[in-house]
Structure 1
Amino acid sequence: MSNITIVPRSFKEQPAYNLIELDDFSGVIFRPRKELRKQEVYATCHLFVVVLSGEKVVHTPEGDFHIRSGNAFLVRRGLHMFSEIFAEDHQYESLIFFIDDRLLADFFRTNALTISSPAPGVQPKNIFQIPVSPLMRAGIDATLPFFSNKAAVSKELLKVKLTEILLHIAQSKQGTEFLSFVKELQSHHKKDLLPLMEENFARSFSVKHFAELSGRSLTTFKKDFRNTFQQSPQKWINEKRLERARFLLTHTDLNVTDVCFEVGFENLSYFGQLFKKRFGTSPKKITTAQNPQK
């Protein structure tokens, strides 16, 4: 399996990015290293991204989105995407806000925004572009000094600035789309576990990150998971990964190492131990039996 950048976790793990964190959102100025110009990305929070310089192409199941300098886009939590960055002289820069459901719920409630529910059968978009008006750009520019002087940051004031930006979006041409997106979150805060887990068990996520994707606390996730699957999350995940691994070893030419990472394990020795305990034989013996020349 290719390496997946899980955001915002990857920024939290690298202090050089100077991430600013609050209870219900965080933010960062992103200037990528050369090796990060093509990334597979999985978002565990909603993303509001403003391209400050350069260009970005985001490939998603809903299509490809080309975002030029000066424009922005909003991404729903849980979207799996592939990001490509283009910039002259290697100068790409973006402002990223990682937004929790709680902030959007407070925004919706505090501003007394009322809209019609999305039409029956129409799924709200997981990603959409937002042209940046001069007034919205002024609000965005007002947040930038916070990231160059983190020690003096008033986090409460930064939250006010972000709320101002969200109000600009709500009043833009994409306002109805944005407000439908926000309102839909209120009735579908918790994702159904069955499709979530079936679609993602082979990704190298921890139980904690599966809980985040589902919109639950870790304790609630474990409780709901056991009620749904009648076993613990880790046991179910390992079982699904091992079954997938046996299938790949039996029906493809992938070697043991490739299969290990393809199904979501990150440690080859641990994978081998679990596999032998589950099936009574090692992964290597299965590949050898299928193809003695391996």
Structure 2
Amino acid sequence: MINTYNDSLANPDIFKQLSVKDMLFVYYKCPQISRLIQLYNHYNLIAFSLEGERTLHQGGKAWRVTPKTSYFQRKSAYVQELSDAQHWKVLAFHIPDQFLINFVKEYLDFLPTTNLPSTNSDMFIKIELNAVTEAYFYSLLPYFSKPEKQSEKLLELKFKELFLTILTNPANKQLLSYILQLNTTDKPPIWQVMEKNYLYGLTLKEYAQLSRRSLSAFKRDFKLHYAESPGKWLTNKRLEHACVLLKTTQQTITDVTLNAGFKNVSHFSRRFKEKYNIPPISYKNLHSNQIEKKKDF
């Protein structure tokens, strides 16, 4: 599983970058080759698509990102799909929770905090743009090509100005609602992190990062909520999802393996047979035959 923040830091030749306190700003042409790739980020992220496009999949939903569109990504894992356009140029901002919390405290009097919607569970929130917002995004691009080190204070002010413009737009109340919630919530609930990310091949340490907990605290809180170990819960949850795919889709066993969060077919097949006393291919054929009989009837 590729951590987009860590991958950007490790490849400055691909991801032109600027560091601003605990934030990371990157400007890049996406190097993706495979049609589908699993990614995750333990920071929040704002992205502005400059050229080309991608489709992002998370929680059974899809977000198509085209030129001059923007989105806010909560900390999560997701699948990124390569489009026919192939290339994709992006300006992205990796932002820790604490910056967002401090920002709200600093600018609360300027934010439209009345009649906000309840926060939904989507990991991606579309950012509605206008001419002013777009101009702010483009005004940051020259900083990536300047040879001299840029003033962190200036870059921070530029970003705050951009972010304030986004949040004062009434069309972005869903995003504002989420950020205000960060200010009142110590940590996201364990169930929310797991239900949104169990299909991705994250390690327990990475799940702990997404939940803003140490590994030991994550395991403790997980056991309190689910009354079983994370490993056992993940396996059972993924097997249940695999059953649905085998019964209701025409996906191959290989595709079901990957889409249910298992790393290889042999491991998936062994676990499936242990739980259901039947190999996955036999399970698939059985239900395919039942569907055909119903059609004939």
- What TM-score, normalized to structure 1? 0.69
Task: Give structure 2 stretches of 5+ with no counterpart.
Answer: 287-297
1:1-294 equivalence runs, <5 A: 7-12=4-9, 14-18=11-15, 19-20=17-18, 24-33=22-31, 35=33, 44-54=42-52, 67-69=66-68, 71-78=69-76, 80=78, 92-113=88-109, 115-116=112-113, 118=115, 123=120, 126-134=124-132, 136-137=133-134, 139-148=136-145, 152-174=149-171, 176-188=173-185, 190-241=187-238, 257-267=254-264, 287=281
CA contact (8 A) 1:74 1:130 kept: no
CA offset digits 1:201-231 (Å, max 9, x no partner):
2321222222233343434322211221233
Deviation at 1:102, TM superposition (A): 1.2
Residues of 2 paired with 1:244 and 1:175: CA distance?
33
Residues of 2 paired with 1:241 and 1:20: CA distance?
39
Deviation at 1:77, TM superposition (A): 3.4
CA contact (8 A) 1:146 1:153 kept: yes
Residues of 2 paired with 1:251 and 1:67: CA distance?
31
Residues of 2 paired with 1:268 and 1:255: CA distance?
11
Deviation at 1:98, TM superposition (A): 1.9
Q: 1:123 to 1:159 in 2, by over 3 A?
A: same
Q: 1:119 to 1:164 in 2, by over 3 A?
A: closer
Worse overlay, 234-243 or 267-276: 267-276
CA offset digits 1:118-177 (Å, max 9, x no partner):
55767487412332434x455434533443458835545433332221122234454655
SS state of the match for residue 216, structure 1? coil
Q: 1:13 to 1:238 in 2, by over 3 A?
A: farther
Q: 1:68 to 1:239 in 2, by over 3 A?
A: closer
- Aligned pairs, number: 282
Q: 1:16 to 1:238 in 2, by over 3 A?
A: farther
Letter in 2 for 1:72: S
Worse overlay, 238-247 or 165-174: 238-247
Q: Percent identity?
A: 26
CA contact (8 A) 1:54 1:68 kept: yes
Task: Give structure 1 stretches of 5+ with no counterpart.
Answer: none
Deviation at 1:97, TM superposition (A): 0.9
Letter in 1 for 2:215: L
CA contact (8 A) 2:53 2:87 kept: no
Residues of 1 paired with 2:200 and 2:157: CA distance?
36
SS state of the match for residue 68, structure 1? coil
Residues of 1 paired with 2:83 and 2:252: CA distance?
32
Letter in 2 for 1:17: I
CA contact (8 A) 2:104 2:180 kept: yes
SS state of the match for residue 127, structure 1? strand
CA contact (8 A) 2:190 2:225 kept: yes
- What TM-score, normalized to structure 2? 0.68
Residues of 2 paired with 1:259 and 1:250: CA distance?
11
